[in-house]
Structure 1
Amino acid sequence: MFYRLRRQERLSPIRAAIGSLLVASAAVCASAPAAPAAPPSGDVAREILREMIDTRSTHDVGSTELARKVQARLLAAGFAPADAQLLIPVDHPRAGNVVARLHGSGKGKPVLYLCHLDVVAANPEDWTRNPFHLTEDNGWLYGRGTIDMKGQDAAVLTALLRMKSEHFIPERDIVVAFTADEESGGERNGVDWLLTEHRDLVNADLVINPDGGEAGMKGGRRLYVGVQTSEKMSMAFEAEVTDKGGHSSRPTADNPIYRLSEGLARLSKFRFPVHLTDTTRQYFERRAAIETGAIKSDMLAVAKTPPDPAAIERLSAVVETNILLRTTCTATQIEGGHAQNALPQRARATLQCRIIPGESQDSVRDTLARVLNDPTIKISVITPATPSPESPLSGTILPTVEKVVHELWPDVVILPQMGAGASDSKYTRLVGMASYGIDGMFDDLDDARAHGRDERIGVAAFGQEVDFTYRLMREVSRQR
């Protein structure tokens, strides 16, 4: 007992000193400014998404009102006016664009994000909810643009605002173009206009376009994140047959409707030759990892050089894989005749084509002429093809995406992809900027609603997109 008491007596001054230090430290901490906490990105992103969905930006209304709201948020967050510019073509006052810049340390050329603000039209009478008001219901967020692409716009803007609040300085500038008229095929496409009139603001070494990306899931299982390196070129031909016509009581074999119909029937049975690119070969090879059975075997067989003909035949019977194997042309409109009791003097059809990068407009036209196999069918160009070269798969883009994806979803496969549709990447690729479609907002492949009724995205999927976008934006801003 005596020993314990004496030991406590010896320790008591030490304990008192320690206690005094702790009290003093607490006082200093209380008076010092607290370290800034990370902003609640999820709440900010939802608020931004609501504002974007609730601000109608269909082609008849335009994107200028929404562009002003985007600029206002950037300025309020501390971006200088020169780094949050509202740019509106004089002859198209509704086609507003915003270009934002987060300055880096100058170690590399900028990275550019493309984010279109416009959406396709939506008839409220067809929807079960107001398409122009963000509605949450049973774990889903409904509204026109939630998938294409205001959900991604909100995630990108949130990431910019967060990095600004964190005083983050990337190694190279991060530039974001919030643009007009992607969906309309527009009179004044935003990206095309910016590249022509304001190239200095958007010039970049690397382009990331979430609109061209795809994150696919089925039955609640995340399967892959795509890296779109190329797109099929979109163009349209007109096929037309003319004749002198006459009275319907005196039919002839030269009836333009019959001749055109017979040519279209031949086209319906035709397949363009298989044309595999570096991207589609790697796509099939990597996609096989998430498939089973015969489909898996066929994808691996198609990825080989040369590809297996039997595997090609089987994959050609499925729309999803057939469109990756070859150029396609299909009839989308037909018109003929001028009176019920007269032989037609004219019949015409629109042929919409999606051309594999590396093939030419002229070669496709020559193939169509051969397949239609009728010299009376005149083929002319309605909408010419815009060349869209394939962006390289070499370099660090795939490893970079893989790193970020696997931090969040370790089992998800990274797939190089060729887009069957078209996006604004065609403009940046045409001027020599390596452009990649990348998106982390998982959508059900069996219930895709982009451009459709009751467009929606999962609440959880949107939250994950916000996180993914922030991580990827920081990662690609590093000099490599």
Structure 2
Amino acid sequence: MTPAEIEIAELCSELIRVDTSNYGDGSGPGERVAAEVVMARLAEVGVEATYVESAPTRGNVVTRIEGSDPGLPALLVHGHLDVVPADAADWSVDPFSGEIRDGYIWGRGAVDMKDMDAMMLAVLRQMKTEGRKPRRDIVFAWLADEEAGGEYGAKYLTSKHPELFDGVGNAISEVGGYSLEVDPSLRLYLIETAQKGLAWMRLVADGTAGHGSMLNADNAVTEVAKAVARIGSHEWPLRLTPTVRRFLSEVADAFGLPFDPENPAPVIDAIGPLAKFVGATLHHTANPSMLSAGYKANVIPGQASAVVDGRFLPGLEEDFMATVDELIGPNVRREQLVHDIALETTFDGDLVESMIAALKAEDPSARAVPYCLSGGTDNKTFFADLDIRGFGFVPLRLPADMDFAGMFHGVDERVPVDALQFGTRVLDRLLMTY
């Protein structure tokens, strides 16, 4: 085993044991302690790093490793240190124990994404102790606040310290690079090349306040309720973006299925639990998630509101917003809460070729395919503003029966130790050859 393979499980467990729960309101413990763990582990092998605290306890760590060819664009490898909260009562283990048993590392962040944080550490430590240089500069970044929008992490660094990312052309980060086993002779590795856009919207209706016992033809609650019902029951049409179309075609070919662009359901069914990731990328989505109105049973309020979580496909934002406005009708206004772009890049270039080669060198049965993520990551949100082309690539060779999609923000989150060891080998090979 390589040094990175030997220590990866303990590094991942050590990071999980640091509670970095992000509640989204500033009340969590922050990332400072986890950032200090990263800094200490880097210092052990003589790696100097920059610590940036964007607000009290909101820690970020960035370091640049010099490559042998300074003329090549640098590569950014980044992960986030924060995690979503976990209710210990729901888990079969302490979610912040980092327990290692049955060949898995258990705990909040094991998949999202302290596994990659640990792989970055393990590979960088091995490179440093062995005195190896990558071909190009590599910028490693361990970031705060991704789970709440990146305000204290990627957004802060790219706006206040963009010089940390000078010369970077491409980036790799979370939610890609994992395997889907077709049979023992073929595994598809999904590399994220596209992400849906985000539109969190508040719908507001103003009406005439009055007594609940009287007739009221201008009821704000009724107007919002009708708008919410129309949006919630709307069947968005199938719209296959180039990334999604290619992914479905590749999956159909791998499973020996016909691919009908008008009816991709059989192909989606073939990928099992991963349909949670992919199914929502076949069309826009708009899910009502909050309602607010009134203060007493017999008082008709003068205003009512609702919140809708909208996600639109790359290249189709105008189509999405026009449909939403039509659905809510003339008596309800739409206010923007949070907006983020959709993004799609092509599945080509020297980084893609290097990722494919690194996967196949460690798993001859590997076939890399692009896919679209229904959510969003720091790759899209802020690094794209610096013209950095982002990919989701956390290489993991997974058991065929593992519900990987269910691990994200799920109960009993865990990652196989041997998948992490595989990932360190692939990541090391990628960083040394790209």
* TM-score, with length taken from structure 2: 0.88
Provide the rounded CA distance (Å) in 1 between the counterparts of 2:195 and 2:358: 24
Return the offset for 1:440.
1.5
In the other structure, the counterpart of 2:272 is none
DSSP-derived class of the 1:441 partner: coil
Provide the rounded CA distance (Å) in 2 between the counterparts of 1:172 and 1:399: 16
Name which of 396, 409, 412 aligns with 1:441: 396
Q: In 2, are the aligned partners of 1:315 and 1:322 still within 8 Å (CA)?
A: no
1:246-305 Cα deviation digits (max 9, x unpaired): 22222434333333222332223323444433322221121213334xxx32xx332xxx
In the other structure, the counterpart of 1:429 is 384
Mapping of 1:302-341 within 5 angstroms?
Answer: 302=261, 309=262, 311=263, 321-341=278-298
Q: In 1, are the aligned partners of 2:171 and 2:388 still within 8 Å (CA)?
A: no
Return the offset for 1:319.
6.3
Return the offset for 1:224.
2.2
Q: 1:456 to 1:220 in 2, by over 3 A?
A: farther
Q: In 2, are the aligned partners of 1:391 and 1:429 still within 8 Å (CA)?
A: no
Mapping of 1:8-87 within 5 angstroms?
Answer: 40-59=3-22, 60-79=28-47, 81=48, 84-87=49-52
Counterpart AA for 1:65: V
Return the offset for 1:322.
4.3
DSSP-derived class of the 1:244 partner: coil
In the other structure, the counterpart of 1:35 is none
Q: 1:205 to 1:278 in 2, by over 3 A?
A: farther
Q: 1:167 to 1:126 in 2, by over 3 A?
A: same
Name which of 455, 459, 468 aligns with 2:426: 468
Name which of 350, 370, 373 aligns with 1:396: 350
Q: In 1, are the aligned partners of 2:20 and 2:29 still within 8 Å (CA)?
A: yes
Q: In 1, are the aligned partners of 2:13 and 2:100 still within 8 Å (CA)?
A: no
Q: 1:180 to 1:319 in 2, by over 3 A?
A: closer
In the other structure, the counterpart of 1:450 is 408
Return the offset for 1:243.
1.4
Matched, 1:128 2:87: no
Q: 1:171 to 1:119 in 2, by over 3 A?
A: same
Provide the rounded CA distance (Å) in 2 between the counterparts of 1:155 and 1:462: 7
Higher helix share: 1
Matched, 1:88 2:53: yes
In the other structure, the counterpart of 1:26 is none
Name which of 151, 154, 157 aligns with 1:191: 154
Name which of 175, 182, 191 aligns with 2:139: 175
In the other structure, the counterpart of 1:236 is 200
1:418-447 Cα deviation digits (max 9, x unpaired): 111110001112221111111212452366
Return the offset for 1:184.
2.1
Provide the rounded CA distance (Å) in 1 between the counterparts of 2:108 and 2:404: 19
Provide the rounded CA distance (Å) in 1 between the counterparts of 2:51 and 2:165: 13
Q: In 2, are the aligned partners of 1:159 and 1:469 still within 8 Å (CA)?
A: yes
The ranges of structure 1 where at least 4 consecutive aligned residues each deviate by more than 4 angstroms after the TM superposition are 218-222, 312-322
* TM-score, with length taken from structure 1: 0.80
Return the offset for 1:209.
2.8
Counterpart AA for 1:351: V
Name which of 249, 260, 267 aligns with 1:301: 260
DSSP-derived class of the 1:208 partner: strand
In the other structure, the counterpart of 2:321 is 365
In the other structure, the counterpart of 2:231 is 267
Provide the rounded CA distance (Å) in 1 between the counterparts of 2:418 and 2:197: 34
Return the offset for 1:52.
0.8
Q: 1:204 to 1:145 in 2, by over 3 A?
A: farther
Matched, 1:355 2:273: no
Matched, 1:377 2:332: yes
Counterpart AA for 1:466: T
Aligned length: 418
Q: 1:218 to 1:334 in 2, by over 3 A?
A: farther
Q: 1:340 to 1:195 in 2, by over 3 A?
A: same
Counterpart AA for 1:182: E
Matched, 1:277 2:241: yes
Counterpart AA for 1:85: T
DSSP-derived class of the 2:224 partner: helix
Provide the rounded CA distance (Å) in 1 between the counterparts of 2:161 and 2:352: 30
DSSP-derived class of the 1:120 partner: coil
Provide the rounded CA distance (Å) in 1 between the counterparts of 2:234 and 2:265: 13
Q: Which runs of 5+ in 2 are unaligned?
A: 23-27, 270-274
Q: In 2, are the aligned partners of 1:286 and 1:413 still within 8 Å (CA)?
A: no
Query: Max radius of gyration: which structure?
Result: 1
Provide the rounded CA distance (Å) in 1 between the counterparts of 2:301 and 2:40: 59
Provide the rounded CA distance (Å) in 2 between the counterparts of 1:142 and 1:217: 21
Return the offset for 1:388.
4.3
The Cα RMSD (Å) is 2.5
Q: Give percent identity, aligned residues only.
A: 26
In the other structure, the counterpart of 1:138 is 102
Q: 1:351 to 1:96 in 2, by over 3 A?
A: same
Provide the rounded CA distance (Å) in 2 between the counterparts of 1:116 and 1:54: 15
Counterpart AA for 1:329: A
Q: In 2, are the aligned partners of 1:329 and 1:351 still within 8 Å (CA)?
A: yes
1:86-145 Cα deviation digits (max 9, x unpaired): 1222xx021111112221121412111011111111122322211111112222211111
Q: In 2, are the aligned partners of 1:231 and 1:421 still within 8 Å (CA)?
A: yes
